[in-house]
Structure 1
């Protein structure tokens, strides 16, 4: 019926077109008389020159069917002496016109490329080429033929949840056709091939579920063939097919069920908490995200627990340790359930939601068990206690071995009785050094294996008020030259190593005429100027002795000196220049200087003793006693030519001292130079004798022997005090010059240039 209706519609359209052409032709060829009288009351219709508007050409004509006449140009001036010419799109190429006005298409057209052409027609005389009428425009419409098949667009994949109700939309497919959409050539209808689970809307292409029994566990994916056809219900139409993939999404429509009805496990009694006893596997055909079992223990939930593993199966774990001697076995039920399951569940029939668990505890040799994992005891600092507490441990096995205690840490301040576990102090403790001591105690079985265990012991040292308060040196106290009476020149504070006493009080030991002390009752005190007038040009000593009490039990006090500086200040007491006007105690540098001086004096005394010792040994070697030399001063300031010089001196006297036996009396010889006694030498000797007699600081001498000249080859050797000095001491005193300006004088006396300074004597 639909086919006949289509042909009837086509016939009516064709008849309308024929009727329109006939009407236009008749209207254009009718003679209309000319109006000769402009004032004639009768109106006459003017004759038209051109009688056409639109031509139609069919696309996709084959070469053997070309050229093809598509229409005729009609003009009232047309005769055997006229011709038609066309201009515009495709003129004289795609479209051509002959002398009589017939327009033909000469090439194959494609409506999908260009669906219309605009042309201009002209009529002229053949011979003179004179234009006989105005140009007129006309169009050539390209008529569509069904030369294109539908084409599908987009990604042809979709998904839908299992158990979706019938009619639930899955997706919409869309196909396009390049043919004219207003004609049957471009109209498309859809159809599904070979499926009972989905249907499609033939106009819109929407695919929907045809059943509510989709089950992912049965089938998780469907491939649907979709057909798109143009020219529906007319033979000769074009069709296209494609495949659409539909994935079935999982939902939680299955319950978890135990795979076994009874589970048996063996566990050693020494296993620690969180130990995995075993795996309780469950079956759930849903995907992992929809597999959410919940396990419940009917008994012994304080000892065991069930957790989920990576596959959402149950894992039985220990929550606390087991003891074979107390309970050797456990039996309890475990139930499993799952929330949020779509009902009715697919596997509800035959599911197992509970199982029995049997656990056997295996006996093992265990180490001693302490009553506590960590012991804590308190002691007061400074006390020596022979008892601070007990630790206790027992063998949990049936053998009940005796236990011996010991302390692992060598620096632990406590010691333990190996039999009883009694703890006592080895030394007094000081909280200020360390307030907490950590020790590790071990308990070991007195058996062949000797298993041992450990426990921590913490000794907390309680504070005792055993440290006096001290002045807080971080605060600065100074008085400005322009300070007025009543100005607070500084605030002092205190600190205490103890923690039990922090209520400090401040008082002045001695009353001051220039300053007063005000206790602020907040662990600070203010120093107030009562009489000013200080200047940085005058050095004044200002210091206050402050007594600080800590308020503890027992009450401890301490007296400390507060030093006040004098400063020149700007506004708001900003310091410009300060002068320390009081110093108490001895600084570290001063103490070092004092010690260096003491050491230097000791070194000097030792050097003197060594020098005397070496001088004495030298005199003994020369055959003279120390008494003979110490009581005589031998002075010379001129040296002769030696033993060969016999004209000026009698050197036999000098050598007689070495040749004379030791027990005999000392021989004192005076070498006289005959020509010198009455000249410069005699005068020099007298001067030297006079200087020795009037030298109050010098050592008294019984006799004075002066040698003016000495030979270089004397058998007695040189009696010069310079040589004696060098022989008597091997110490080099030049290092005294490196000790600084304080030892400059000492360096000059005993340094390398001493001989030069003493050469005049």
Structure 2
């Protein structure tokens, strides 16, 4: 039924009038406050009389201005007029001479809900204020002009099969209207999804309504939520929002095979472990809740099942197959799953078992050795061609082929019979050089296949007693000058390269009155001093010949020389100085050192001769014979030019000028300045330089350039004599250094080194 517009307008007018009456009844009247309130509390007659001032928001402009109240005062006169001031005075609100308060513009309660103004009454004839200033308030009445607004709501999550009443998420909407009135009161309602969810009207909390949520049926829900104000009244405003609810998966479905039979083909030479094929599994749950378990009813020793990345079954081969032995396999595989929520969802047919059929494919295989490693043992030492063993291989195929054998290792001491696999020793073995030999052998089918396989031959060399014992720890035997008779001067031992040498026995090869030997029967022997009195400067006997025999079968015997040093010692036989034992020969290191010294001396002599020859040739080229120069002073002026960047000066002229009294005449101008004899030889270098300068000034045949000659000239008046290396002798004086022997053991060796001539020197030093 259609409502006439005029009637509709009348209905709205009556509604507004009713609202104004209700607000007039329950609102608080405008408060009257005197600006100048007396501090004395006493009853005072009220001069201002106010009605209730209420202004409705959002009034249509066609209804403005609108009267909202009347100012009354007991002192009001015919010529009285009213004035107002304060918030919105004379703009939003005005007052006329009759005291009527008018609102002139639409008001918005959501921006300003109350205004405070001042009221004054004046005498218009004399402009006197008739009464005190009074304060009054204008309250803005709320209307339902704002819709509810939803805040942002994140997606909610809930497990499938969640119990009734399980919390999912909460929505929230706000209304800008007065919350104390019905205009700002918001309620919530679901517009869809009410079969599985419900919402609390007053709080907006969404919970599970039915526990039959199933992710496999529907994994996500989009719910429309409506918020309304003015609940239970006509004219309320609404707003809607969409919230997302995701259903979490749980393990509530059983895993099952996608089919009842699986067939695979496997070559017999397939490596292990290797994957044969997939046993695909169907599980409606998500991957993280898919945990199938597989059980084989037969052939567990040959096959097993692993889980692949998709949680399907990967059928694996664990042992090698042989087509000639078994060409096909058939067995049953069961699938199950733990921790499934009961009762599980049933979705169509479920295959919890499947038949697996495997066909083995025949391939041409290489020969197979009877062993992967062959072990043999043989004695070391001389040999005669002999057989140490056999290796063998077979062709696993039905059509048997001939097999030939060979050795791959190049350093193997064995050779093999190509047809029979017989192994023979081809060289003498030495356990001390190499105790174990590893040889790789091959077995190959005759053409055309040329298939081959490999095996290892391990040859262990057994020991025989073929090495003589050797003396060890001989360097630990020495005599201290203060050792007494019976002192153990050291312990010797023995070693043998053989593996089982038994116990070594020691004895003296020749008897001596100075030493004795005691065999400890534990592979060691003590050397004892039978008489003392040994000195480092003279030793009567410093070597022993010792016979050593091992405990092998048969035993071997050797003789070793033990050299004994004589030492000066501190307490507890701590060595201070030791004189080595006398040696009859020269060691290899000494010979090498002597040869190096000889070569070094020869090189120095050759370089010296070449340098002299070069200097002689240079002087001849300059016009001066080699016999004219006996001594020279050479000055190097710079780097980089070698001997060509030097100046040579004849120093012998200076010496002859002072000693002989004559100067050697020169046939002509010379490179070197000729020194004349000074008037008096006083050893004065300054006088010599003056003579040389005077000679250069008056010599017309001299070289036309200025030179400065520096002479290393020493005077003859010095009592110490010349220190120049030019006149030094290479022959040292013979001094007697025997007095150093009285200074103690540390200087005794120095006296021996410098106090004897070449004929008395000891070859051991």
Q: Same fold (TM over 0.5)?
A: yes
Is the 1:512–1:544 Cα contact (8 Å) retained in structure 2? no
Cα offset, 1:407, TM superposition: 0.7
Which residue does the alignment assign to 1:370?
369
Which residue does the alignment assign to 1:302?
301
Which residue does the alignment assign to 1:605?
none
Cα offset, 1:300, TM superposition: 0.7
Aligned to 2:182, the other structure's residue is in SS state coil
More deviation in 131-140 or 169-178? 131-140
Distance 1:445 1:85, change over 3 A: same
What does residue range 188-587 of structure 1 map to in structure 2 within 5 Å?
A: 188-195=186-193, 196-347=195-346, 350-378=349-377, 386-430=386-430, 433-446=433-446, 448-460=448-460, 466=467, 581-582=579-580
Query: d(CA) in 1 for partners of 2:91 and 2:294?
Result: 88
Cα offset, 1:302, TM superposition: 0.3
Render the CA deviation track for 1:658-696: whole Å, top value 9, x for unaligned: xxxxxxxxxxxxxxxxxxxxxxxxxxxxxxxxxxxxxxx
Is the 1:429–1:461 Cα contact (8 Å) retained in structure 2? yes
Which residue does the alignment assign to 1:174?
172
Query: d(CA) in 2 for partners of 1:103 and 1:481?
Result: 140
Query: d(CA) in 2 for partners of 1:433 and 1:104?
Result: 127
Distance 1:161 1:597, change over 3 A: closer
Query: d(CA) in 2 for partners of 1:81 and 1:122?
Result: 14
Is the 2:469–2:550 Cα contact (8 Å) retained in structure 1? no
Cα offset, 1:459, TM superposition: 3.6
Is the 1:256–1:293 Cα contact (8 Å) retained in structure 2? yes
What does residue range 707-718 of structure 1 map to in structure 2 within 5 Å?
A: none
Query: d(CA) in 2 for partners of 1:590 and 1:114?
Result: 118
Distance 1:13 1:395, change over 3 A: same
Query: d(CA) in 2 for partners of 1:283 and 1:403?
Result: 51
Query: d(CA) in 2 for partners of 1:53 and 1:203?
Result: 38
Distance 1:112 1:594, change over 3 A: same
What does residue range 587-598 of structure 1 map to in structure 2 within 5 Å?
A: 588-593=588-593
Distance 1:129 1:526, change over 3 A: farther
Query: d(CA) in 1 for partners of 2:333 and 2:591?
Result: 84
Aligned to 1:185, the other structure's residue is in SS state helix
Is the 1:85–1:97 Cα contact (8 Å) retained in structure 2? yes
Distance 1:546 1:260, change over 3 A: farther
Render the CA deviation track for 1:619-647: whole Å, top value 9, x for unaligned: xxxxxxxxxxxxxxxxxxxxxxxxxxxxx
Is the 1:121–1:137 Cα contact (8 Å) retained in structure 2? yes
Query: d(CA) in 2 for partners of 1:75 and 1:527?
Result: 147
Query: d(CA) in 1 for partners of 2:205 and 2:164?
Result: 14
Which residue does the alignment assign to 1:150?
148
Is the 1:508–1:544 Cα contact (8 Å) retained in structure 2? no
Aligned to 2:183, the other structure's residue is in SS state coil
Is the 1:387–1:422 Cα contact (8 Å) retained in structure 2? yes
Distance 1:491 1:468, change over 3 A: closer
Distance 1:593 1:238, change over 3 A: same
Query: d(CA) in 2 for partners of 1:556 and 1:102?
Result: 148
Is the 1:540–1:581 Cα contact (8 Å) retained in structure 2? no
Query: d(CA) in 1 for partners of 2:305 and 2:241?
Result: 51
Cα offset, 1:588, TM superposition: 4.8
Render the CA deviation track for 1:538-594: whole Å, top value 9, x for unaligned: 99999898989999857998968689898999x99999xx97753878555422256
More deviation in 336-345 or 371-380? 371-380
Query: d(CA) in 2 for partners of 1:83 and 1:215?
Result: 79
Is the 2:377–2:459 Cα contact (8 Å) retained in structure 1? yes
Cα offset, 1:13, TM superposition: 5.7
Cα offset, 1:441, TM superposition: 0.9
Query: d(CA) in 2 for partners of 1:588 and 1:104?
Result: 135
Which residue does the alignment assign to 1:112?
110
Distance 1:248 1:566, change over 3 A: farther
Aligned to 1:400, the other structure's residue is in SS state coil
Cα RMSD (Å): 5.7
Distance 1:110 1:546, change over 3 A: farther
Cα offset, 1:191, TM superposition: 0.9
Aligned to 2:184, the other structure's residue is in SS state coil
Distance 1:497 1:125, change over 3 A: farther
Distance 1:434 1:109, change over 3 A: farther
Cα offset, 1:378, TM superposition: 4.8
Is the 1:407–1:441 Cα contact (8 Å) retained in structure 2? yes
What does residue range 658-737 of structure 1 map to in structure 2 within 5 Å?
A: none
Aligned to 1:246, the other structure's residue is in SS state strand
Query: d(CA) in 1 for partners of 2:135 and 2:338?
Result: 80
Aligned to 1:289, the other structure's residue is in SS state helix
TM-score under structure 2 length normalisation = 0.60
Which residue does the alignment assign to 2:618?
none
Cα offset, 1:390, TM superposition: 3.6
Distance 1:358 1:49, change over 3 A: same
Distance 1:119 1:161, change over 3 A: same
- Is there any run of 5+ residues in structure 2 with no aligned partner, and where? 1-14, 35-39, 601-729, 731-765
Query: d(CA) in 2 for partners of 1:532 and 1:59?
Result: 137
Distance 1:21 1:525, change over 3 A: farther
Query: d(CA) in 2 for partners of 1:367 and 1:532?
Result: 83
More deviation in 579-588 or 346-355? 579-588
More deviation in 107-116 or 205-214? 107-116
Query: d(CA) in 1 for partners of 2:196 and 2:100?
Result: 60
Is the 2:479–2:564 Cα contact (8 Å) retained in structure 1? no
Distance 1:14 1:353, change over 3 A: same
More deviation in 552-561 or 68-77? 552-561
Query: d(CA) in 2 for partners of 1:544 and 1:91?
Result: 137
Which residue does the alignment assign to 2:184?
186
Distance 1:15 1:82, change over 3 A: closer
Aligned to 2:188, the other structure's residue is in SS state strand
Cα offset, 1:183, TM superposition: 2.1
Which residue does the alignment assign to 2:695?
none
Distance 1:98 1:319, change over 3 A: same
Which residue does the alignment assign to 1:164?
162
Aligned to 2:335, the other structure's residue is in SS state strand
Aligned to 1:590, the other structure's residue is in SS state helix
Is the 1:440–1:456 Cα contact (8 Å) retained in structure 2? yes
Query: d(CA) in 1 for partners of 2:180 and 2:223?
Result: 29
Query: d(CA) in 2 for partners of 1:185 and 1:289?
Result: 51
Query: d(CA) in 1 for partners of 2:519 and 2:51?
Result: 122
Is the 1:478–1:567 Cα contact (8 Å) retained in structure 2? no
Query: d(CA) in 2 for partners of 1:226 and 1:394?
Result: 82
